[in-house]
Amino acid sequence: MGKWIRRAVVLVIAAIFLFSVISIIVTLYQYRVSGELYDDVARQYTALASGTGGSGAGGAGAGSEADGSGGTQAGLAGESAEIAPIQVDFEGLQALNGDIVGWIYCQDTPINYPVIHGEDNDFYLRRSFDKTNNMAGSIFIEALNRHGFVDSNMIIYGHHMKNGSMFAVLDSWDNQEFYEEHPVMWLLTPERDYRIDLFSGYTTSAYSDTYTIFQGPGEPLDEYLAECAAKSVFQADVELDSEARYVLLSTCAYVFDNARYVLHGKLVPADSAGGVMTETK
């Protein structure tokens, strides 16, 4: 009887081990497929903006060396962000999926992705920009935000992938030196591009007031911005006012249950749309 029990235990252990190995192989394969998918879309639908040098934007290192922010003239003190450092073929992207409303980019980081605005917050959790099943999901806007980037603050979500893709890099801003090397991101849209001047980063609960949406300016938004800035783990010199628009970038953190790492940024209108210079400012 003991002999059969020992054999059964060995078989169970072997089955568990085999299942674990298969799970790891499947996960690594899915990471590879996801990475190749997003690399391909960046190569096909983005390119370096005119005057920034280089041959393409498929890698995340595109941008101007003059200011370190990835734009042709993107100092934090300026009222105008000039033009975005990359160009995006939104016509081609929206032919693939009409839910694609923008592109988010940060020089010298993995952040170089299309931005989706769907009807709910579930569909794109495990689907890519082309609506195929994908464990990495998409970078997508909170469904409660109004379309057209008209709210005073937009919430954008992305998974914290173990291979460093999607929004996994957000918690790197939990470091003053990293912030100083990456003080801005870019949000490109078919109608207007925006430099994102980052001003706060911290860990919070998925159920905190951080996720409050403001549709317009006013004292409540001023108070909210001041509270967010006070929570930041890095120091930034960004002038905040409720007349501007803002973006909240959010990803999972593993500090406590339902923890999230968030970055707040001020949207500074650029003189471009999709990376192409516009005729009027």
Burial 214-234 (b: 16+ CB within 10 A, else e): beeeeeebeebbeebbebbeb
Distance between CA atoms of residues 16 and 26, nearest Å: 15
Distance between CA atoms of residues 151 and 157, nearest Å: 16
- For residue 235, the Cα-to-chain-centroid distance in whole angstroms is 21
Distance between CA atoms of residues 6 and 207, nearest Å: 48
- As given in the structure block, the two tokens for residue 56 are 């393409």
Active site residue 252: yes
φ and ψ of 230, to 5 deg: -65, -25
Distance between CA atoms of residues 116 and 112, nearest Å: 13
Which one is catalytic: 42, 187, 252, 253? 252
- Tell me the DSSP string of 60-123: TT-S-TTTSSSSSS--TT-S---S-SEEE-HHHHHHH-TTEEEEEE-TTSS-EEEEE--SSSSG
Length of the chain: 281
* Catalytic residue ranges: 252
